[in-house]
């Protein structure tokens, strides 16, 4: 289905806003990637460290506030 020229040239307000924002701040995407890496990209843990952490953890009792008597 081919659209008429009127609809092919349409650009939403949101699209114009994003284009203007990127023109004003050209390194915006780089800053976003850096922020994402800071919060979400975690360094990988080697298997030995993971195994040691799992073995050294102490099992918690089912109900923490109940005294063993």
Judged against a pLDDT cut of 70, whether residue 2 lies above it is answered with: no
- 62 lies in some domain: no
- 67 lies in some domain: no
Q: Which residues span the domain enclosing 19?
A: 5-56
- 65 lies in some domain: no
**Angle in degrees, CA 27, 32, 36, rounded to 5:** 150
pTM value? 0.46
- Report the number of distinct structural domains present in the chain: 1
Residue scoring higher pLDDT (21 or 4): 21
- 44 lies in some domain: yes
Q: pLDDT tens digit string along 19-54?
A: 999 999 999 999 999 999 888 888 888 899 889 988
- 38 lies in some domain: yes
- 10 lies in some domain: yes
- 26 lies in some domain: yes
Q: How far apart are CA 2 and CA 34, in angstroms?
A: 41
- 12 lies in some domain: yes
């Amino acid at each position: 289905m081919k659209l008429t020229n009127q609809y092919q040239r349409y650009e939403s307000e949101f699209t114009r806003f994003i284009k203007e924002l990127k023109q004003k701040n050209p390194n915006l995407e780089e800053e976003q990637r850096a922020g994402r890496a800071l919060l979400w990209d975690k360094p990988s843990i080697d298997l030995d460290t993971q195994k040691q952490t799992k073995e050294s953890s102490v099992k918690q009792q089912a109900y923490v506030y109940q005294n063993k008597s």
